[in-house]
Chain A
């Protein structure tokens, strides 16, 4: 069966231990977390997690249901199903000496990177983009010698004017499980 990558936006109560609950849920049930990013939303009582996970359709459905079951979880949206924008950021420290120094700068320019640190033998670049773009620039820079690389997890938001994670005050059974038959 096909395993697909899914990007989930999870709104949670911003309370002590909630990250641990979500991470614990994934590990206890053997689901995998490819990446996880979390921060407060406009409402300081609510945090938003962006979790990238991979699995068959049935597993993704179970993950979504189990997440919804957590008392601290307000809402789960599978952004993979919607038109959405995703980005991640990377800070890459590259060895840059002699001929390589100019070439490395050119590569960074092509990928619209910014230089955030410089030393006689290295540059540290900041890149933002979709995962494939970051992977591409990493591959191009590898031959020069990447000293250190730090990537954030993916963050994503649905396209269009509405807030896909708007919390509505209605009971949970109006989700797709009930209608699916």
Chain B
């Protein structure tokens, strides 16, 4: 029996076990939506209609990040596809497995400046792991299988499949490939045994080792192996923004996040280490600061599934190309006997002492008071801590938008397990928080999903809130509202002599009314004593909620390593407060 391209597409989704598809219809995908009609009726595939294509891609992204599965989005041609580009680039920078299917004008019209035509394959070439233009219906099933395989294997990434409308109408027999064979793509994952042995030998000679772990440990499901390895040898672990949750942050060995806004002890441990073990992390500029001053005294081991990430920014001594989980397992197998391990663990005591000293010197800190002694102003850091305190027992999935609130959430939330922390790290896309939370809630209907967003960021994709209401998803959106584009304001304060330009947004939507108008529930709070009650109310609501938390407008994120600065010299909060007092000892104002 022959099927149309549209039907083949739907059958392919079923073969790939795609349960949820986020999308928005349009002319070029009409045949596909007609075929989906039947799949929706028999319950095999759920299609979620968004309100902007960027929302669809972010939702598919949040869905993937909350489960480890591949996200799927369906967009129409032209503006539908171009609206999705930001979402695709977001997934590309963070290596998220996703397949985005875009409609395209009929093949005979391609290149003719047709209605709603865009060279989507050309536009997304630099921001997808790979993309396809399907010119013949006979290729469609194979391409769908290949797209899924490419997206989810090796270093994951978004794959785009562009399907012209006439291809979705052409007919042929549906043949699902038994195996995906791409001669030019053979991702390796095992890791070279010789290198692994060398690495373990080197580690066992270390006096001040540090494990520096990133998103690769999350996507490889390497948390158990990583935890075992670190604990057996007593090696402190620091995580990147993308790696939070790969090692329990409450553990005494955790240095928490490193980098531009990481903890003081994490950055100093890195700087003073003698053996640096990088696993599933890419030495991003937010982590390294000034390259030629980065970890000069350390021998470096780098485990990564992507060979091009190794020695890209920083030359390493022992590169190991492989999957984090597999390599860590092999490293564990190479460890000496228990007695030796215990001996090594004990030898780490002086190093731990030193690190504890750094923590005592400059712990995470903010001044939680106001000069006029009023106690009702809410500090943003305190608000986030309060949200954490009140929700941690629910083990929530947390998404964020981009900016100061994102950094504070990374600092003050403690993540113990992978796939619970969802944030746009590489591209830093404002607007990501709300739709990714909705995608995560679809993926994990029984879990609590929180979005910590800024007042500027949340306005970028706010239209998707109504999708949450429509599907009765109880996502809780906490707006850390400082009426500023906070992070930009901070930089203008620190580097542009307080010349605030285009960062003040005092005219805000009435978030309570806005939520209400979208069939969600809104709350507003600006007094510290009331916050706890409002959080309780929101958490117990069965509706999606927007909680507008008015906070102190001029707080800054510390520690901070300015761009191009050395990680040996983070600027810490207490230093900043001290210098402000020194400038003006009569002033009681420290904020």
Contact = CB atoms under 8 A, between A and B. Distances in A.
Contact of A173 (B125, B130, B308, B321): B321
Interface stretch (B178-186, B427-435, B570-578): B178-186
B130 A71 contact: yes
A178 B195 contact: yes
Interface string B125-138: 11001100101000
B307 A177 contact: yes
A20 B195 contact: no
Given A21-B125, A28-B126, A177-B319, A71 B133 contact: no
20 contacts: A12-B184, A17-B125, A20-B125, A69-B306, A72-B130, A74-B183, A169-B183, A169-B186, A171-B186, A171-B187, A171-B188, A171-B190, A172-B307, A173-B192, A173-B307, A177-B310, A178-B307, A178-B320, A178-B321, A180-B319
Interface in A143-181: 167, 169-175, 177-181
Contact of B318 (A58, A65, A74, A181): A181
A61 interface: yes
A172 to B, nearest CB: 5
Interface of B: 121-122, 125-126, 129-130, 133, 135, 150, 182-188, 190-192, 195, 198, 306-308, 310-312, 315, 317-322
Contacts of A175: 307
Nearest to B159: A71
Contacts of B321: 173, 177-178
B188 A173 contact: yes
Contacts of B190: 171, 173
Given A17-B121, A17-B133, A173-B188, A71 B150 contact: yes
A70 to B, nearest CB: 8
A175 B322 CA distance: 13
A172 B311 contact: no
B308 A74 contact: no
A177 B318 CA distance: 10
Contacts of A167: 183
A62 interface: yes
A62 B308 CA distance: 6
B126 A74 contact: no
| Minimum-distance CB pairs A-B, first 5 | A173-B188, A65-B308, A171-B188, A74-B184, A71-B130
B480 to A, nearest CB: 35
Contacts of B308: 62, 65-66, 68-69
Nearest to B309: A65
Given A62-B308, A65-B307, A181-B318, A172 B186 contact: yes
Interface string A96-119: 000000000000000000000000
Contacts of A49: none
Nearest to B320: A178
Contacts of B133: 16-17
Contacts of B315: 58
Nearest to B199: A181
A122 interface: no
A128 interface: no
A59 to B, nearest CB: 11
A9 interface: no
Interface in A52-69: 58, 61-62, 65-66, 68-69
* Most chain A CB within a 10 A radius of its CB, from B184, B186, B190, B312: B184
Given A28-B126, A167-B183, A172 B188 contact: yes
Nearest to B146: A71
A91 interface: no
Nearest to A65: B308
